[in-house]
Chain A
Amino acid sequence: MRLHLSPEDQAFRDEMRSFFTTQVPQSIRDAVAAHRELSKEQFVEAQRVLNAAGLAVPHWPVEWGGRDWTPLQRHIWREEMQLASVPEPLAFNASMIGPVIATFGSQEQKERFLPATANLDIWWCQGFSEPDAGSDLASLRTTAVRDGDDWVVNGQKTWTTLGQHADWIFCLVRTDPTAEKKQRGISLLLFPMDTPGVTLRPIELLDGGFEVNEVFFEDVRVPAENLVGEENHGWDYAKFLLGNERVGIARIGSTKRLLADAKEHARGITVNGAPLSEDPYMTARIAELENELLALELTALRVVANSAGGRPHPASSVLKLRGSELQQAATELLVDIAGPLSVASFAGEESDVPEWAQVSTPSYLNYRKVSIYGGSNEVQRTIIAGSILGL
């Protein structure tokens, strides 16, 4: 039991903090801090800055750009990145398909994809959810039928985040419709988004943004060599991928930033002659959120210390569940601080309504997603009740 970081970890933290706050373009960090939609170019530029410094994919195997850091160092890396409002390396590349290819892909796939994936030369999107396969992902119906040297894909995916920027898709497809267990007939295919027969329809979200898409496949021909690992073992890779997705999903650094912003904004609003930041109910609300966030951060530190062999600690479900709730609570707080200004969502630069207040409600509405994606909070409760409490 020890409270403080070791001198080495303290130095590591300083190094990360200094890099993120000085080497990533300020304009990109400002855009993240202001909750503006980032352009594809901004995502790519930020990731390339990180990758050039060996900071894009530290959790990958060393031969593919990983850094062999301790779990605590990875935690520090991620938190400092969020605190500095640096866009994280694209999750679809860095956290999802990269580790899957590195672990289960062929040597040829590794060489072909991993360097380009780390550098965001290839932008990946996720072909997992379908209209009838959400939390019950294994019931997916998109099919791939073998025809000569190709797989022929037909069906539909949905909630494909940032698919409009994507060069390639990693896609769960049903390759054995006769398998006794629905999980057993699924494979993982990789193919370019400009393959004939792939069409994409953007879905507008409540915040007015276009973050997610539907993707349709009509007789899409995919070379057999683009299947990852073994045929009909795609579910194993999907589970591996989703486990990785859950790590870092608590977004503690990012919520810390939101609470700090909330305090700052509350100082600029006057209620009954005094700053809102001094209102007893407001200070209590913020203090309680800070305390809950502290508990979550300390839990994350406990979990990272006990995640052996790359397998997440069972309590990682707590991180997802509570992390999403606190992100939502923080965005809700900002709407409440904005008060009547919070309705002026699209007032624009000509308006006197400050940008943070304009984006507050769209962010709050957008953040309803965080308790739904990455395994909904109800799925996390099922995991806690089942695998931890044995219920």
Chain B
Amino acid sequence: VEFSYDDEQNGLREAVSALLARAYGDSEQRRKVVASDPGFDEGTWSRLAEMGLLGLPFAESDGGMGAGPVEVSIVAEEIGRVLAPEPFVEAVVLAGGLVSDLGTDAQRAEVLGALAEGSLLPAFAHTEIGSRWEASARSVTATEDGGSWRLSGVKEPVPHGARADLLVVSALVDGATRLFLVRGDAEGLTRTGYRNHDGTRSAKVEFAGTPATPLGEAPSSPTHADQTAAIEKALARARVAYGHEALGAMETALTTTAEYLKTRKQFGVTLNKFQALTFRAADMYVSLELARSTVMWATLVVDADGDVRAAADRVRLQTSRASRHIGKEAIQLHGGIGVTAEYKVGHYTSRLTAIDHLLGDGDWALARLAASVNEHETVDPLA
């Protein structure tokens, strides 16, 4: 067990950090970018591609860099640190991850190569109104007619669904959940984009007999073809990556708050003279470091291909608790300015709140962990 980064990994962090500092070093830059569609900066996205980051986890034969989850985690953390709105986890880890896991040779080469180059943005269209955080599809259906497939139904909210060049869509085929690829310009596809509270974008995506291509080999027998387990695994990896994005964001929220306590004066003294405030900042640090430990460990579990689902649930629970604690306290310790859109700290709370709800919140993860609590005597991270 070893929790330190090697020189190459530290170098990657510095490079990503420098690139993102140019784009979002000043929080006003982010405000400007998220004010208009697509809610992120295409130029920055291209620069992330040029640095090889958008193909980071994919096989070199698919046009990727062949790096591991630790490298992915470093990028996600730096994204979170400056609240970069570029959809790294959404497009690379989640949508790209599904294509990487399940796609045919041709699909992987085509989609992942273009994603890595920055010329194709994929999004995972999975959530349906009326259910939450399940790995299987609920009401969108896929039907086959003479070897070609068509989708019907509605997915919403789909993160970056309006901007996406390619949708990876979950749909029911005779009760089994299958994944399909749908081009952004497909006929019978209606996308209505809107702004989320954290400045990112989502969309209502309607399929009306929309042509789609099965991801992977076409389903023959539904019982053998269910892809729910694969979706669960990709979601778990994305939860871990989001854990790192949240970690970066929580760290900035804390350092920003500590800095404010040192400079803001009331009653003739700086706020750090008040123990009632510094103790609360100390508790934020405790939450941050405990979450960091869990998240780093979970990335190593992904790397070792261990029980990724359980590790991701542990990340969700720990970072959910930590991000709510840190996000709320960051605003409270700032006072009124923390609630304004002009000042940066509240945006961190907003993004942390979004991350907390995109793929399962803390209580949701806790319920899953609780269901298996009697199956082990103790939890042993070194086993």
Q: Which residues of A contact B1 (CB under 8 A)?
A: 2-5, 9, 72, 301
Q: Which residues of B contact A390 (CB under 8 A)?
A: 258, 262
A263 and B374 in contact, given A284-B366, A384-B285, A389-B285 (Cβ under 8 angstroms): yes
A3:B378 contact, CB within 8 angstroms: no
Interface residues of B in 270-301 (CB under 8 A from A): 272, 275, 278-279, 281-283, 285-286, 289-294, 296-297, 299-301
A3:B262 contact, CB within 8 angstroms: no
Shortest distance from the beta carbon of B244 to any chain A beta carbon, whole Å: 12
A286 and B5 in contact, given A4-B304, A4-B382 (Cβ under 8 angstroms): no
Bound complex: CA A378 to CA B276 (Å): 11
Bound complex: CA A263 to CA B370 (Å): 12
Contact with B294, one of A4, A298, A315, A391 (Cβ below 8 angstroms): A298
Shortest distance from the beta carbon of B149 to any chain A beta carbon, whole Å: 40
A298:B293 contact, CB within 8 angstroms: yes
B129 at the interface (CB under 8 A from A): no
A385:B318 contact, CB within 8 angstroms: no
Residue in chain A with minimal CB distance to B259:
A390
Bound complex: CA A199 to CA B348 (Å): 59
A295 and B286 in contact, given A1-B5, A5-B1, A391-B272 (Cβ under 8 angstroms): no
A302 at the interface (CB under 8 A from B): yes
Most buried by A among B70, B261, B282, B366: B282
A318 at the interface (CB under 8 A from B): yes
Q: Which residues of B contact A271 (CB under 8 A)?
A: none
A299:B293 contact, CB within 8 angstroms: yes
B233 at the interface (CB under 8 A from A): no
A284 and B286 in contact, given A1-B303, A3-B303, A260-B377 (Cβ under 8 angstroms): no
Residue in chain A with minimal CB distance to B314:
A291
B258:A292 contact, CB within 8 angstroms: no
A256 at the interface (CB under 8 A from B): yes
B5:A277 contact, CB within 8 angstroms: no
Bound complex: CA A292 to CA B343 (Å): 33
A67 at the interface (CB under 8 A from B): no
Interface residues of B in 333-383 (CB under 8 A from A): 366-367, 369-371, 373-374, 377-379, 381-382
Bound complex: CA A291 to CA B322 (Å): 12
Residue in chain B with minimal CB distance to A2:
B2
Q: How many of chain B's residues touch chain A, expressed as a range?
A: 35 or more
A302:B374 contact, CB within 8 angstroms: no
Bound complex: CA A382 to CA B276 (Å): 11
Q: How many of chain A's residues touch chain B, expressed as a range?
A: 35 or more
Interface of A is mostly: helix
A7 at the interface (CB under 8 A from B): no
A305 at the interface (CB under 8 A from B): yes
A283 and B317 in contact, given A322-B286, A389-B258 (Cβ under 8 angstroms): no
Shortest distance from the beta carbon of A330 to any chain B beta carbon, whole Å: 12
B4 at the interface (CB under 8 A from A): yes
A321 at the interface (CB under 8 A from B): yes
Q: Which residues of A contact B267 (CB under 8 A)?
A: none
Q: Which residues of B contact A299 (CB under 8 A)?
A: 289-290, 292-293
A389:B282 contact, CB within 8 angstroms: yes
Interface residues of B in 302-331 (CB under 8 A from A): 303-304, 306, 314, 317-318
B378:A256 contact, CB within 8 angstroms: yes
Bound complex: CA A297 to CA B294 (Å): 9
Q: Which residues of B contact A1 (CB under 8 A)?
A: 2-6, 9, 70, 296, 299-300, 303
Shortest distance from the beta carbon of B82 to any chain A beta carbon, whole Å: 20
Q: Which residues of B contact A302 (CB under 8 A)?
A: 3, 293, 296
Q: Write the residues of chain A forming the contact surface with B, with a CB cutoff of 8 angstroms.
A: 1-5, 9, 13, 72, 83, 256-257, 259-260, 263, 267, 277-278, 280, 283-284, 286-288, 290-299, 301-302, 305-306, 315, 318, 321-322, 378, 380-382, 384-386, 388-391
7 closest A-B pairs (Cβ-Cβ)? A298-B293, A3-B300, A283-B370, A385-B278, A384-B282, A295-B290, A381-B282
New A-B contacts (17) at CB < 8 Å, excluding given A3-B301, A4-B304: A1-B3, A1-B4, A1-B296, A257-B378, A280-B367, A283-B374, A286-B370, A287-B373, A294-B297, A298-B381, A301-B293, A302-B3, A306-B4, A381-B283, A384-B285, A388-B282, A391-B281
A-B contact pairs, 9 of them (CB 8 A): A1-B70, A1-B300, A3-B300, A13-B382, A259-B378, A267-B374, A298-B297, A381-B282, A389-B258
Q: Write the residues of chain B forming the contact surface with A, with a CB cutoff of 8 angstroms.
A: 1-6, 9, 70, 254, 258, 261-262, 272, 275, 278-279, 281-283, 285-286, 289-294, 296-297, 299-301, 303-304, 306, 314, 317-318, 366-367, 369-371, 373-374, 377-379, 381-382
